[in-house]
Amino acid sequence: MATVKVDVPIRAPIVAPGAGVTEALKAGLFMCKGPRWSISDGTGLHELFRVPADIFVYDVIVDVKTAVDATGTTVTVGDSDDTDGFHTNATAVPTVIGSKSAHSLASVVYSGGKSYADSDGRVITASIAHGVAASDISSAGVIDTYLIYANYASLL
């Protein structure tokens, strides 16, 4: 199954025009579901989300649907500045089924989120690697990703 990246949609807040629009923009968090990807998609970088400029990424959630069956297979999530900025293999825990949030983890670089206010945007990627031994190469593993973000990071 090929991984297809998802453009992060820009959503307008639900408020009456002129009535606290700036506050509504600052307060709104939105969620975008990324592509379902599989360990069988191969090693290397897999593009998940294209994040435009002026976005604050609050969290990237890794939801392991089918566990990776080899401890030597690693999964990280980040961007071009830091390929494991949102999730290291220790926080994504691909061998355990369930959702893992990176927002409040002190062990990741982008704990608390990352602002793309002054950039031209970024692509958030997942990286898959296998160990050298045959027992370190996983044949299983299916993962969904979710992006929680706020628009207009320059106003925050």
Q: Is residue 37 part of a domain?
A: yes
Look at residues 77, 85, 76 and name the one whose alpha carbon lies nearest to residue 112: 85
Exposed / middle / buried, residue 37 (Cβ in 10 Å: 0-12, 13-18, 19+): buried
Per-residue pLDDT of the chain (156 residues; tens, 9 = 90+): 445 556 666 555 555 555 555 565 556 788 889 888 888 777 788 889 988 888 888 889 999 999 988 888 889 999 888 888 999 988 898 889 999 988 877 777 887 778 776 677 788 999 988 877 777 777 788 999 999 988 776 765
* CATH number of 24's domain: 2.60.120
Q: Is residue 1 part of a domain?
A: no
Contacts of 19 (CB under 8 A, 6+ apart): none
Determine the structural domain holding residue 136 and report its residue range: 6-155
The pTM (predicted TM-score) of the whole model is 0.79
Specify the number of domains making up the chain. 1
